[in-house]
Amino acid sequence: MLHDPDLVSVQEVRTKVERAYAAFQEYRKFAQEQVDAVVESMAAAARGEARRLAELAVEETGYGNVESKVAKNLLCADLLPRRIRGMKTIGILREIKEERVIEIAEPVGVVAAILPTTNPTSTAIYKSIVALKAGNAVVLSPHPRAKGSTCATIDVLHRASIAGGAPPELIQCINNATIEGTNALMRHPRTGVILSTGGSGIVRAAYSSGKPAFGVGPGNVPVCVEESADIAESIRKIVEGKSFDYGTVCSSEQTVVAVKPLRERILSELKARKAYVCTEEQGHALARVLLNEKLVVNADCVGQSPRRIAQMAGFSVPEDCTILAVEIRGVGKQHPLSAEKLSPVLALYFVDDFAACLDACEAILRFGGLGHTCVIHSNDDARVLEYGLRMPAFRVLVNTSSPQGSTGITTNVMPSMTLGCGAIAGNITSDNVGPQHLYNIKRVAYAVRTPEEAFPQRAAEAMPDRAAVVSAVERYLSRKLGQAPVRAQAPASAAPSAAPRADSRTIAASVVDRFLGTRRQPAAPAPSTCSCALPKPAAMKAETAAVTVAAAPAATQPPATPPSLPIVDFVCESDVRAAMKESRKIYTGPKTIVTPAARELAAQYDILVQAKR
């Protein structure tokens, strides 16, 4: 019997991943309607338990507050399901008739979901719903300090999924999660993709696992309050965002940046919203207690109330204080409170003009929040656009609280608890991750053009000279018809006294013009055989009849002496295919005309042989 916690965890992971994979084999046969029924059942159950689960999370972790966690649970159990209702994720996604392409969803299999301690219930709801909506199984690994509330949430979802018709083991929870067990989950051969939420260490582990992974970067959110904004309304929303779940959301406001003329009004509005504006000395004390020398947040301060954090820093604030506000003098290591704080502590930075606001907000993002989220409060659309174009963040929110806007509560971005930060932050996506990221798309694509039609300029450049082709085809036809070349411009005395006949050059010109006409019209459907194919005996009769060729007496037309090798004057693609079918070579001379398509095909099978007459 295993006693080592890591060995127990690893064995549990192996067992539960295999169970989830087996259930996935059945679930992958479900139609869209069946999958949607499962998701709706899970969402309804989670909505009914939203408050109880929020209370469990706060009681177990000590992070945040119940009302905010209820809101986050409902974000994932109500707003998210409503947003993805009707979304096609199973089977044929769409048929693009004009392009003759059919797109088909292919689930990734088993989703490994790594959960944080700051959002242990809402993230479990979110990841389970998006995984199953995309047709996958899910194995969830709770944070060790939030195991109780997370496992309780997964139990609700598991029972609801079965009630909705899902296979019994489609959702699995690791009850004995350890670091070794979580690493085993991420590296398991059956794991299809990783959804990782947590600190930078677990995100790096997900990216280094060898599996596709969706992780996110830290959020150090700047908030620009521009002169045209409604200052009172802007500060109200900023305080609501910063106080939401006591700052545990990674997209919480971190630093307000505004021009100096707005300073007194902003401070006044903050106080009206029961924000406590700290003195410079209290600000230094907060910096010391919140962050260490490496600017890592003190875990004891994460998600704590303003009153408790103030007590830890050595001063007191009113009982109804909403947030702590601290004015700073710059951005960077010399100004620790310009970093992410994961608590209801808001930095204030006042600068000279809007250009300086842009510089400061960009600097804040580059100081620990690259790619994540930024906010602007403004009624000047030109400045909003200037801000959006400048900021290195993939969620640029306008006139909203940041946590609520970034997660899709107050904006139309995808409701999500996993906010990608893009390549500039080392993330696989810049999107709010949803079901659409958890399946692959296969495409059934019909042929709609030939290679020559795909590259008309190349085909035109490779087109042989008409006069040379006419000459080559003329010689070919002359041999086939058993007559010497007859030129239209030849003297009348050179023609036989028999009935008039068409000269071979006229026939050659007709064949070549027909061939070149098809080459000049790439949009026309490609014929089943090469349009430049030289006439076979039956076709030759029709050709000669069309131009009223009269056969000369046999006595006057002795057969030509065959060459030592059957060197041809003209080769097209159909000639090469015929030679391939008959397992023979085609002998060419210095003056043989070979079409580009024929040369390319012949080169693959070594059909053409250069010879001398």
Catalytic residues: 250
Alpha-carbon span 381 to 383, nearest angstrom: 5
The answer to whether 227 and 262 have CB atoms below 8 angstroms apart is yes
Q: How many helices, marked H, and strands, marked E, lie in the chain?
A: 23, 18
Single out the residue of 405, 121, 364 nearest to residue 219, CA to CA: 364
Cβ(142)–Cβ(126) below 8 Å: no
Phi and psi at 225, nearest 5°, equal: -105, 105
Closest CA to 487 of 472, 474, 468, 473: 474
CA distance 409 to 505: 79
What is the C-alpha to C-alpha distance for residues 385 and 370, in angstroms, rounded to an integer?
A: 19
Residue 404, SS3?
Answer: helix
Q: Which two tokens stand for residue 78?
A: 């109500």
The two tokens of residue 404 are 């609520």
* 350 three-state secondary structure: strand
Alpha-carbon dihedral angle through residues 26, 30, 34, 37, given to the nearest 10 degrees: 50
For residues 558-578, one letter each, b for 16 or more C-beta atoms within 10 angstroms of the residue's C-beta and e for the rest, the string is eeeeeeeeebbbbbbbbbbbe
Q: Which residues of 240-274 are buried (b: 16+ CB within 10 A; e: fewer)?
A: bbbbbbbbbbbbbbbbbbbbeebeeebbebbeebe
Cβ atoms of 253 and 346 closer than 8 Å? yes
User: What single letter denotes the amino acid at residue 584?
Assistant: R
Question: Sign of the CA dihedral 287, 289, 290, 292?
Answer: positive
Distance of alpha carbon 145 from the chain centroid? 33
Q: What is the Cα–Cα distance from 115 to 101, expressed in whole angstroms?
A: 38
Closest residue by Cα to residue 164 from 110, 128, 192 = 128
**212: DSSP letter:** -
DSSP tag of 605 = H
